[in-house]
């Protein structure tokens, strides 16, 4: 059973936070995504091994049932041979019974051992699947935090560019620029309006003369 679990590339019992702390990375989400992909591959692989182990247990049970059936058959034949006084058949039946009983005892032990190992593997497999699920939840949490961080950063660039490395003007600066531009346009309009009125007065005075 231990040799089976030594095939794992990653320990399914490793705490997720410990894994994240041990691996230095500027992008923990990318590292977590890779770890989850590897864990899912291991989950599929272990699932197939468990399926194979279950089939082996079934085969052992079939062999055990066959050995016990043959031992009972030979016992019945032994009784008939003893009644008939067939010494050679008696000897043969006794040898067969001993062989089948020995095989059945070995198979019974193997079935019990295989059943125990299978239960142990299934429990660890369920624990493994829970770990993968926990990692996926952690992945969603980190993605949410990353989105919030990026949103805050971009909003800070707009609201307070002096506190961020950005060439983007702040909302306040843009507001002042718009107000100044509006004031300039209004002043130019007023100047143009005055010019038109003065010119109109000049034309009217010339017409009177």
Q: Does residue 72 carry a pLDDT above 90? A: yes
Residue 9: its pLDDT value, please?
Answer: 46
Q: Does residue 192 carry a pLDDT above 80? A: no
Cα(20)–Cα(135) distance, integer angstroms: 11
Cα(156)–Cα(136) distance, integer angstroms: 30
User: Which has more pLDDT, 154 or 110?
Assistant: 110
Residue 52: its pLDDT value, please?
Answer: 92
CA distances from 183 to 98, 175, 194, 195, 197 (A): 113, 12, 16, 18, 21
Q: Is the pTM of this model over 0.75?
A: no
How many other CB atoms are there within 10 angstroms of residue 131's CB atom?
Answer: 19
Average model confidence (pLDDT) across the chain: 77
| Proportion of the chain above pLDDT 90, given as a percent | 33
Residue 140: its pLDDT value, please?
Answer: 83
Long-range own/partner contacts, residues 80-88 (CB < 8 A, 24 or more apart): none
- Give the residue extent of every domain in the chain: 2-168, 169-209
How many other CB atoms are there within 10 angstroms of residue 153's CB atom?
Answer: 11
User: Which has more pLDDT, 193 or 9?
Assistant: 193
Q: What is the pLDDT of residues 33-43, one digit of tens each?
A: 888 888 888 88
User: Which has more pLDDT, 154 or 131?
Assistant: 131
* DSSP per-residue codes, 30-49: HHHHHHHHHHHHHHHHHHHH
Closest CA to 43 of 128, 134, 137, 118: 128
Measured in whole angstroms, the distance separating CA 152 from the mean position of its chain's CA atoms is: 28
Q: What is the pLDDT of residues 108-133, one digit of tens each?
A: 999 999 999 999 989 988 988 898 88
Q: Does residue 5 carry a pLDDT above 60? A: no
Residue 146: its pLDDT value, please?
Answer: 76
How many other CB atoms are there within 10 angstroms of residue 64's CB atom?
Answer: 19
User: Which has more pLDDT, 87 or 22?
Assistant: 87
User: 2-168: which CATH topology?
Assistant: Helix Hairpins (1.10.287)
Cα(148)–Cα(154) distance, integer angstroms: 10
Backbone angles phi, psi at 190, to 5 degrees: -65, -40
**Listed range (96-100, 131-135, 194-198) with the worst mean pLDDT:** 194-198
> pLDDT tier at 163 (50, 70, 90 boundaries)?
low
């Amino acid at each position: 059973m231990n040799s089976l679990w030594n095939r794992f590339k990653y320990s399914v019992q490793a705490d997720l936070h410990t894994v994240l702390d041990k691996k230095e990375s500027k992008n923990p989400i990318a590292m977590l995504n890779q770890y989850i992909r590897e864990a899912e591959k291991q989950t599929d692989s272990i699932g197939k091994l468990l399926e194979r182990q279950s089939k082996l247990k079934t085969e052992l049970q079939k062999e055990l049932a066959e050995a016990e059936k043959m031992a009972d058959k030979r016992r019945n034949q032994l009784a008939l041979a003893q009644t008939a006084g067939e010494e050679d058949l008696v000897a043969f039946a006794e040898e067969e019974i001993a062989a089948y009983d020995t095989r059945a005892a070995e198979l019974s032990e193997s079935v019990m051992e295989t059943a125990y190992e299978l239960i142990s593997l299934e429990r660890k497999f369920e624990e493994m699947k829970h770990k993968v699920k926990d990692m996926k939840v952690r992945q969603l949490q980190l993605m949410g935090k990353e989105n919030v961080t990026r949103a805050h950063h971009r909003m800070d660039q707009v609201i307070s560019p002096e506190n961020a490395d950005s060439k983007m003007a702040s909302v306040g600066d843009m507001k002042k620029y718009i107000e100044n531009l509006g004031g300039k346009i209004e002043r130019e309009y007023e100047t143009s309006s005055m010019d038109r009125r003065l010119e109109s007065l000049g034309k009217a005075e010339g017409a009177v003369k």
